[in-house]
Chain A
Amino acid sequence: MIIAQRKPLEEIKEMVASYEKVLVLGCGTCVAVCFAGGEKEAKLLASELRMARQMEGKSTQIIEHTIQRQCEWEFIDPIKELVASVDAVVSTACGIGVQGMAERFEDKPIFPGVNTTFLGMPVQPGEFVERCQACGDCILDLTGGICPVARCAKSLMNGPCGGSQNGKCEVNPETPCAWQLIYDRLSKLGQLERLLDVMPAKNWSTSRDGGLRKIIREDLKL
């Protein structure tokens, strides 16, 4: 899922400083699961904003609402009237949701309440780790289900590098070396011979290097 982190209150306060009535809009999917921008987090942010603005003698018309997803028109459209009733919106969705809102409500200032951080998973309660970079050409079949693109600091296709020390990455001694993990996993699977093949240079045009990506499925069109 998409992992995000709440922006500092000071930054959000500054964004909405000149607006009277502000809607804090939570998103009930990815950012709710990572506790950054779901219903509860939207409530907390709205409460913080109200108190901070009260102390500054500013308008405390901060309301909160949460929709299931801010990245699909079906969920955005039903709150048209609510959005029309406020001067600005702080969206605690990921960058996709913020842009979805901005695209649908062209005349309304939409501000991000979180920093969209990475694609990952909660490996244990309270700990979220990156797992995928959406490179557009998955090679997990070759690497024992462990992604060197996302989990190796250098995104090496043929690792490990000389910075792998005792199974850890030189960039951060707490981070496991992705290629050590790949070796260990392939070893368990009895597929170490896979490492004898040299992987060719990766074609990054399917990733961000190819510019904005788009998928068209004619079978799904109406």
Chain B
Amino acid sequence: MSETAFEPEITAFVCQYCGDMAADSAGWNRISYPANVKIVRLPCTGKVDVHHILNAFEHGADGVYVVACPEGNCHHINGNLSAKRRVKYAQSLLDEVGVGGNRLEMFHVTAAQGDEFARIAAEMTERIRALGPSPVRRAMGK
């Protein structure tokens, strides 16, 4: 795999209320975002487990991010805050393993922010593209 041909594989865990609706808003408004991002819809980002995040990296994701409702506006009261704490913990584990915690990020959007959803997807794609393939994926030879 040459560096110039590298296209990041990115997994985005989104809640069905804000993150997923924002992705839909991007669609309604005909705003495109990088196809590198594969979306996993959850009832709430409070459902995001550290194991889900590590599992994505173990199976070849170059980057992972979580898109939740804005703080104070979670449909499940504080699921997004739980997700934020878990993302922070998962970042420490990824640093410990040597994958790098900077390949994981947490974002908050409202359902109407299709443009912001697209901007985040582009930002993460650029960040991971600059970092190169995940060391795990590189070792897998994919």
Binding site for B on A (CB under 8 A): 8-10, 40, 43-44, 47-48, 50-52, 54-57
Please, which residue of chain B has its CB at the minimum distance from the CB of A47?
Answer: B54
The majority secondary structure among interface residues of chain A is helix
For the complex, count residues of B whose C-beta is within 8 A of A. Answer: 17
> With contacts A47-B55, A48-B54, A48-B93 known, is A40 near B139, CB below 8 A?
no
Please, which residue of chain A has its CB at the minimum distance from the CB of B96?
Answer: A9
Residues of B within 8 Å of A40, CB to CB, are: 49, 51
- Within the complex, what minimum Cβ distance (angstroms) separates A29 from chain B? 20
> With contacts A51-B57, A54-B140, A55-B139 known, is A9 near B97, CB below 8 A?
yes
Please, which residue of chain B has its CB at the minimum distance from the CB of A9?
Answer: B96
The majority secondary structure among interface residues of chain B is helix
B27-78, CB < 8 A from A: 49-51, 54-55, 57-58
List 13 A–B pairs whose Cβ atoms lie within 8 Å, in order of A's numbering. A8-B96, A9-B97, A51-B99, A51-B136, A52-B97, A54-B136, A54-B140, A55-B97, A55-B135, A55-B136, A55-B138, A55-B139, A57-B139
User: Bound state CA distance, A50 and B51, in angstroms?
Assistant: 13
Please, which residue of chain A has its CB at the minimum distance from the CB of B50?
Answer: A44
- Within the complex, what minimum Cβ distance (angstroms) separates B129 from chain A? 20
Interface string of B86-105 (1 = CB under 8 A from A): 00000001001111000000
Whether the pair A44, B136 counts as a contact (CB closer than 8 A) is no
Residues of A within 8 Å of B51, CB to CB, are: 40, 43-44, 47
Q: A48-B97, A54-B136, A55-B139 are in contact. List 14 more A-B contacts (CB 8 A).
A: A40-B49, A44-B54, A47-B54, A47-B55, A48-B93, A48-B96, A50-B58, A51-B97, A51-B136, A54-B140, A55-B97, A55-B98, A55-B136, A57-B139
- Within the complex, what minimum Cβ distance (angstroms) separates B30 from chain A? 39
Please, which residue of chain B has its CB at the minimum distance from the CB of A8?
Answer: B96
Residues of A within 8 Å of B57, CB to CB, are: 51
User: Bound state CA distance, A40 and B140, in angstroms?
Assistant: 25
Residues of A within 8 Å of B139, CB to CB, are: 54-57
